[in-house]
Chains A and B, each alone.
Chain A
Amino acid sequence: MSEQDITAAVPAADESSRVEQVSSTTKRAGLLSGAAGRNLGLVIALVAICAFGVITAGERFASIDNLLTILRLAAVLGVISIGMTFVITGGGIDLSVGSVIGLASVWASTLATQTMAQNSHWIVMVGCALLVGVGAGLVNGVLIAYGKVVAFIATLAMLVAARGLAEIIANRQTQVVKVQAFLDFFRDDFLGIPMLVWIFVVVAVVGWVVLNRTTFGRRTIAVGGNPEAARLAGIKVKRHTMYLYALCGLTAGIGGLMMLGRTTAGSSTNGQFYELDAIAAVVVGGTLLIGGRGTIVGTVLGVLIFTTLTNVFTQNNLSISAQNIAKGVIIVVAVLLQQRIAERSRAGT
């Protein structure tokens, strides 16, 4: 009884209070069974990677400059991973985000867009990229929700098509950004921290609030957890599914802008393979691939783990190939752990 009282007294089911509840009902499952327990595991992994970095690369790794480099690199992946968290929690998948980053970055940096931006305001480029992202997301969403195309296939088609469209628009050339005000904004620092990192922080915080504190988030979890039950409870499952892909497209549009700011050029090759990194970060973070449970904090940690790992490996002059092997191992280990924990908590209840 006292356990029930304790959990009842916790004001909201955020990730930390859920742990208490789960661990109180499934004592055997222990600390790692809850969301915060899982996050703790991710923090330990991140700390271990950092320790490895300090030991092997010393000052080169443990410097403010390098930290900012890591964060700057994490920012683009982080933003699209937030969008991906929503889609996966809602029971879907979006393979097209990498290509949509490319398309958005190209479309926002065409001569026409840049001229328009120069004549009016650089925000035109921002609007263009966001529209491209949301548009591509809506196409995905309509196909999946109303056209009943399997998400894997619909977004795979978008992956190929968006990349192709980006190539046609850019004519396979790199489009250098000449709108100085745009570059000034995205390459600026605020309180000593790069703007790209701020954008990531804002998107992550907004994402956390939306997923955990709003009706949109609750619908996302319901649609991913049991679409039929959600539908029969009166939730507009199709419409919500469409929104989820539009949201993911929006984050890809933001990612495209960030990429433009970071590389100062629009290119049809921007964002290649980002969809895979994003899915990996989300899953490693603890979001269930079958939907119904998602964690923004986990996703952020997953992104940081992958980015820091890349950085440590690069500092040690290890090849991209070696990095990829390590990434693969991490994904498998994380998913195996996730399954064990899920099984244990189910058996314990």
Chain B
Amino acid sequence: MVNEDPPLLQMRGIVKQFPGARALDGVDLEIRAGEVHCLLGQNGAGKSTLIKVLAGAHQPTEGEILVDGQPVTITHPVAGLKLGIATMYQELDVVDGLSVAENIYLGHELATGGFSQRRAATANTRALLTRLGHGDMSPHREVGRLSAAGKQIVSMARALSHDARVIVMDEPSAVLDAEEVTNLFRVVRELTASGVAVVYISHRLDEIRQIGDRITVLKDGRTVATGLPVAQTPTAELIKLMTGRNVEFAIPPRDTIAPDAATILKVDGLALRGAFSDVSFEVRAGEVVGLAGLVGSGRTEILETVFGARKATAGTVQVSGKKLRAGSVSDAVTAGIGLCPEERKSQGLILDEPVYRNITLSTFARNANASFLDEGAERAVAREQIQALDVRPSDPDRSARTLSGGNQQKVLLARWLVHGCRVLLLDEPTRGVDVGARAEIYGLIADLAAQGAAVVVVSSDIPEVIGLADRVLVISEGRVVHDGPASGIDEHRVLDLVMEGSAA
């Protein structure tokens, strides 16, 4: 099929530089009218930033955007809407207290001289809803009383009310059940049949198979493949594009752990209602255990529950034979467990506090004399770690906010190193970390294990998990579907397991 018209929307060489991090580093994207264009990529690959650039919420540092072959600048979200680009964010941006019609015309109310034309709004809303196959939804219904799927329809109708030609859907299926997803697909097909282009973002590859026409894959802020026809691209290839980083060279080889190494962490029958159940595993001194699985499989929840940040509904966690109280972080920390959370900025760091205080956040009391802080000692300890981990810039008084992702991660690792952890839980330790710092973090993990720590790593990057870990647990839909040595499993096997698990 040859298309002579210029594509509806084109992005060329888009770069977005944030202070300390390059979120997009050369993205190309081409959207044609009437297609479902799937955007694939791991967490931190740059999808969210790209959407925001497209919606006008962020300005690209470099690169150009063309609509109908004409270069445009999208200075703010309203400008994006005027060009016919509408975005449905993952967190549905509807106002619960307003009616369906009021939500749809939010920000561009139909009015004459300040008086709202409610009748026209109602009639138009009805027409839009009918177009979306939901003519039965009342325009007067309060949106707060609709289901997630219903809110999505409202969000879509709002996009259409702006005469959108491109609708960006950020993980629209994440909040829906199977039947609702089917319905969503029907609506998407109707939209594309009328010439609207849909940019569809999802982690679920089976969905992309069902609904997508073409695929663009992002990795580390770059387009690694674009315009791949869905029908002719095998899943394995997509996975490889998304995750296939040659990490082997960056991960230092490690000695095999002694067969008589003591078990440090013992998790037995752990469960958290609604997230995961019956998770059991052991980690010995010097061992690295990797948890592989897709986003939303329960990996993060497992780590947080082991750490006590969430209260287990069943099961136990033991450190060196001592049982921990469920739901008590301070118990876990006292027992020598440390967690480097996935969301470094919101869960890990106190951004406006200096680096040294972030490093000593769980140990400042130890340096204190009768409750009086010894900031000299804290600085000395911090400076030691800054040097050992090569945190840059090396000024311990700089606020944590000003550091890059990789250096922030090092600060978190330093915190637990100072604490002297025997068990280290790392959630996406290299997310948003550039390649150089990534190798350093791999090295640190290996060093820690060599010193006898028990390490648990969660990562979306499957080769990373396999490369780092001695043993891999595959998690799918909140269950451990595989537990075995890392040497006996490869990326494809992990993905097969994950997909079998989610099909079941």
Which residues does A use to contact B, with CB under 8 Å? 4, 7-8, 11-13, 21, 25, 213-218, 221-222, 225-226, 228-236, 292-293, 346, 349
Contacts and interface: CB of A to CB of B under 8 A. Distances in A.
Given A229-B348, A232-B329, A292-B353, 9 more contacts: A4-B393, A4-B395, A12-B376, A25-B402, A215-B373, A226-B346, A226-B349, A226-B350, A232-B339
A218 B374 CA distance: 11
A346 B352 CA distance: 9
Q: Which of B19, B347, B352 has the most CB of A within 10 A?
A: B352
A7 B375 CA distance: 13
A87 B69 CA distance: 57
Given A228-B347, A234-B362, A4 B334 contact: no
B444 interface: no
B329 A231 contact: yes
A233 B352 contact: no
Nearest to B20: A349
Contacts of A228: 346-347
Contact of A8 (B353, B368, B397): B397
The main secondary structure of chain A at its interface with chain B is: helix
Nearest to B365: A215
Nearest to A216: B371
Contacts of A215: 364-365, 368, 371-373
B244 interface: no
Among all A-B residue pairs, the 5 with the closest Cβ atoms? A234-B333, A225-B350, A233-B362, A233-B361, A226-B350
A21 B368 contact: no
A235 B330 contact: yes
A232 B309 contact: yes
A297 to B, nearest CB: 18
B52 to A, nearest CB: 20
A259 to B, nearest CB: 31
A12 B376 CA distance: 7
Contacts of A217: 373
Given A214-B368, A215-B373, A349 B399 contact: yes
A230 B395 CA distance: 22
Contacts of B361: 222, 229-230, 233, 235
8 contacts: A214-B371, A216-B371, A218-B357, A225-B350, A225-B351, A229-B348, A232-B339, A349-B401
B362 A213 contact: no
A229 B362 contact: no
B309 A231 contact: yes
A226 B339 contact: no
Contact of A213 (B19, B334, B372, B395): B372
Given A214-B371, A215-B365, A13 B333 contact: no
A231 B339 CA distance: 11
A233 B415 contact: yes
Contacts of A25: 398, 402
B346 to A, nearest CB: 6
A283 B334 CA distance: 36
B371 A4 contact: no
Contacts of B365: 215
Contacts of B200: none
A25 B365 CA distance: 28
Contacts of B347: 228-229, 232
A292 B349 CA distance: 12
A200 to B, nearest CB: 23
A222 B309 contact: no
Most buried by B among A12, A13, A221, A235: A13
A235 B309 CA distance: 12
Contacts of B372: 213-215
Contacts of A12: 375-376
